[in-house]
Amino acid sequence: MLTGLGKLLNRLFPFFLRPSHTRSDVQALVSTLEGGTFDFRRFERVLGYRPINWKLFFESLLHRSYLQYVGATWQSNERLEFLGDAVLNCLVAEHLYESYPDMEEGELTKVRSRLVNRKTLAQRARDLQLSDFMLLSSSAIQSLEGGSESILSDAFEALIGAIYLDGGIEPAREFVHRTLLSNTSVVQTALQDDNYKSALLEYSQGRALGVPRYAVLREEGPDHDRRYTVEVFLGSESFGIGTGRSKKDAEQAAAARALEKINTPSLEHDTSPS
C-alpha cells in the first residue's frame, strides 16, 4: 500500500523523467535556422505563461512541412495538437456545464462544437499573432497566406497541449479562458447559431472527411404524426442516429448526436506536477 506521500511521488515520477529543454537549448537550434531569431519574451507575453520545458513549445509551433530543417530529434506539432484538442474540448465542456446550468445536453454539445471549430480557433490564433512564431515551409506559408485555417487552428490546439504537459490543467484552463471563453462576441455567436448540420459539415470538410451522408432508417406513424429515424455517416462510419417529425428534424438530431460523439472528451488524468 502506498502512503499519501508515496502516491504523490508515484504521480510525479513520470514528470521528473520527462526530457526537458531550456530556452538556451531551443535558442541554439533556432540560431542554425534561416532567420535565426525567436522573440522569447514576446512569446511568453502572448502565452501569459512562462514555459519550463521549451521543447514542448518549440514543437507546438513546428509544422510538419518544416521537419526537414530541424533534425530527427524534434517532432511536428501533430501529437501535441491531438492532445490539445482533447484538453480544449474538456475545458470548454466544463465551462459551459458550469456557466449554463439550465442548458440541455444537446444544446451544450452544439455550442461546444462551435467554440472549438477550426474557424473560431484560427481566429484566436490570428489574434495572438501566432503565425509570427511558427516554423513553416514556403509552401505552408503560401497556404497560410491563402486563408488556410487548419495550420493556425492546429497550432492553437498544440499550444494548449504544450501548456497542459508543461504546467498541468490550471495554466491550460487560464489560457483557454483568456484567449477564447472570455471573448463575449465569440461565445454569443456560438450560443445563437443552432444548425447542427452546418456544424457537422464544417467539421467533416475541415478534416477532409467529405460531406456527411444521411440515410432514412425508418418512417413510422400515421400521416398526421409521422416519425422519421435518420442515421448520419462520415465516409462509411456511422456517427449518430436521430428522430424527428420531419426528415429535416431527424437529420438535425442525428447531426447533434454525431457532434456529441466527436467532441466527447476522453481526458482522464491531470499531469500537473503540483
Per-residue pLDDT of the chain (274 residues; tens, 9 = 90+): 344 444 433 443 333 334 556 656 565 556 555 655 678 889 999 999 999 888 899 899 999 988 888 777 788 999 999 999 999 999 999 999 999 998 888 888 889 998 998 889 999 999 999 999 888 888 888 888 877 788 999 999 999 999 999 999 999 999 999 999 998 888 887 887 567 888 899 888 888 888 999 999 999 888 877 889 999 999 889 999 988 888 888 898 899 889 888 876 554 444 444 3
Q: Which of 81, 85, 154, 166 is catalytic?
A: 85
Instruction: Scan for cell 499519501, then name that residue.
Output: 4
CA angle (218, 224, 228) in 5-degree steps = 20
Contact 118, 202 (CB under 8 A): yes
Distance set, CA 192 to CA 84, 110, 119 (Å) = 26, 10, 16
Question: Coil, strand or helix: which one is 5?
Answer: helix
* Percent helix, strand and coil across the chain, each to the nearest 5: 60, 10, 30
> Tell me, what amino acid is at 21?
H
- Measured between alpha carbons, how far is 83 from 88 in angstroms, rounded to an integer? 9
pLDDT of the residue at 35: 57
Place of cell 504537459: 165
E-strand ranges in the chain read: 213-220, 227-234, 237-244
DSSP 69: G
pLDDT reported for residue 23? 58
Topology of 4-192 in CATH? Answer: Ribonuclease iii, N-terminal Endonuclease Domain; Chain A (1.10.1520)
| Residue ranges, CATH 1.10.1520.10, the chain | 4-192
Cα 120–Cα 122–Cα 29 angle in degrees, nearest 5: 150
Q: What is the pTM of this model?
A: 0.63
pLDDT in tens, 51-79: 988 889 989 999 998 888 877 778 899 99
Asked whether the beta carbons of 230 and 221 are under 8 A apart, the reply is no
Task: From the candidates 157, 166, 251, 260, give the one annotated as an active-site residue.
Answer: 157
Q: Which residue intervals of 105-226 are DSSP H helices? A: 105-115, 118-127, 138-145, 150-167, 169-176, 184-192, 196-206
Which amino acid would we find at residue 176? V
Residue type, 56: L
Contact 176, 167 (CB under 8 A): no
Q: Determine whether 102 is an active site residue.
A: no
Is the distance from CB of 116 to CB of 197 less than 8 angstroms? no
Predicted local confidence at residue 5, as pLDDT: 41
Query: In the annotation, is 157 catalytic?
Result: yes
The pLDDT of residue 221: 85
The fold of 196-263 is Double Stranded RNA Binding Domain (3.30.160)
What is the edge-to-edge ordering of all strands in the sheet holding 227-234? Answer: 213-220, 227-234, 237-244
- Which residues neighbour 6 within 8 Å (Cβ) at sequence distance 6 or greater? none
Q: Pinpoint the residues of the chain covered by CATH 3.30.160.20.
A: 196-263
**Grid cell locating 239:** 456517427
Q: Which is it for the CA torsion 76, 81, 82, 83, positive or negative? A: positive
